[in-house]
Amino acid sequence: MFFSITKIPDIRFPNNYQINNLWINCDNGWIQSGTTFYKGYDENYCKIIVNDTGAIIKHSTPRSFPLWHQEGIITNIDSTLSTQAWSDDAVNIDISGKITVAKSNIDLAVPKELLTIHQAQERIRQLLDKKLKQVPNKIKLFCSGGLDTLLLYSMFSTQSKIEFELLVDEHYEQDKFTKTNQSELSKFWGYKQIHHWSNPTWIATGSHGDEYFLRGPLIIAMLTAWNNINFSELLANNPDCYHYYHFNKYTKLWKDSWDNRHQLKKEYPTVDLLHRQIINILVNDHQHWHLGNTLTWTPYKDINIAKILLQCDINELIPQFLDGQLSKNLIVDYNPDIINYLSKYKNYNSRENLPNLIKNHHLTII
């Protein structure tokens, strides 16, 4: 879902359309209807509408892709441009190339209702159930051995109507756009970890799983430090927890957050302000927003997941921080047999149980 809107053709893109003194430049996979261009699906899309005065960009909320701009150009691939647009910035361009930016309304507030972790799990399950009803036909799924892709597998395995292909290896086909823009694409970490086919293909990804399920180091560091919890000590005392090896890469983050906890509390004196900043960080964390003819189904890209969890008491969230306990419980909730294929540690010998998953999968579909 890469594009630029310019005054002259942008040769980095394989598709270039001139409409009313503007050029719409894009990768493959876009649908054109008159002077409107669309790519994606309801929860992860971009729409460019060109009229007599200029071009309007519409998108899912929060926006799934970054944006940069300067006079005469808006794009989501070139981070060298002078200005970055944040998630609450609505950016448009007129026929002369002038850029206008207006603030849009993104609700950063977390509901004040307190939830138990079990209530949170049930509400997240309800969200995921709704998304299961919208799974594209003949979707592919690559299991990494980690929590997020295994949860997707567990979800799919309960639905006889979902036809999905389990991938056992990484797959990346080049097209004109990926060849031309390898350097720029490599700047987005999510596009170092993506599959790509030149023909129209859907793939389910665990995009936003760590972050929106509150398993990302930065958010954990903020929440624990603000609540006077020394996460480094917790981690040291739990060497068998799922995140142990992965989180030991962040010793400086844990120390700095703990040492600066009083300053953090001054900056965000109420839990409401802290939560608003956390949501603000999360909605600006862009991960997968489609590539060429490969469309990514990203069910975890739902900020309500994070908001639900933030309604829980911090002490009930600790097992999720350390061990991904709520995520594990969701896997079991959908299909208890699937939890046996989870790796013991995140990003450490993560494929250790995948041979058994692959064997079981093939036996199931025969």
As a whole number of angstroms, the distance between CA 212 and CA 57 comes to 25
Q: Read off the tokens for 273.
A: 């302000």
- Beta bridge pairs of residue 6: 23, 73
140 and 268 in a single domain? The answer is yes
- Residue 107's nearest CA partner among 264, 270, 283 is 283
* pLDDT tens sequence across 4-28: 999 999 999 999 999 999 999 999 9
**Does 112 reside within a domain?**
no
Q: By the 8 A CB rule, do 75 and 5 touch?
A: yes
From residue 161, alpha-carbon distances to 41, 138, 328 in Å are 20, 10, 24
From residue 313, alpha-carbon distances to 165, 187, 264, 265, 324 in Å are 39, 37, 19, 17, 16
88 and 213 in a single domain? The answer is no
From residue 116, alpha-carbon distances to 45, 105, 121, 129, 313 in Å are 33, 29, 9, 20, 7
Q: Read off the tokens for 65.
A: 């892709």
CA dihedral 154, 190, 301, 33 (to 10 degrees): -110
**Does 31 reside within a domain?**
yes
- Structural domain total, the chain: 2
192 and 315 in a single domain? The answer is yes
Helix (H, G, I), strand (E, B) or coil at 265: helix
Cα 74–Cα 76–Cα 82 angle in degrees, nearest 5: 55
260 and 332 in a single domain? The answer is yes
pLDDT of 250 reads 98
Close Cβ partners of 338 (under 8 Å, ≥ 6 residues apart): 150, 153, 154, 157, 331, 332, 357
As a whole number of angstroms, the distance between CA 304 and CA 108 comes to 10
- Residue 204's nearest CA partner among 120, 116, 135, 276 is 135
- Residue 75's nearest CA partner among 12, 148, 129, 135 is 12
Amino acid letter, 19: I
90 and 146 in a single domain? The answer is no
121 and 31 in a single domain? The answer is no
81 and 159 in a single domain? The answer is no
76 and 124 in a single domain? The answer is no
231 and 161 in a single domain? The answer is yes
| Mean pLDDT for all residues in the chain | 95
pTM of the entire structure? 0.95
- What is the residue range of 24's domain? 3-103
354 and 235 in a single domain? The answer is yes
35 and 122 in a single domain? The answer is no
20 and 146 in a single domain? The answer is no
**Does 187 reside within a domain?**
yes
Q: By the 8 A CB rule, do 209 and 144 touch?
A: no
* pLDDT tens sequence across 110-137: 999 999 999 999 999 999 999 999 999 8
**Does 109 reside within a domain?**
no
* pLDDT tens sequence across 321-355: 999 999 999 999 999 999 999 999 998 988 899 99
* pLDDT tens sequence across 56-88: 999 999 999 999 999 999 999 998 998 999 999
Question: How far is residue 38 CA from its own chain's centroid?
Answer: 20
**Does 344 reside within a domain?**
yes
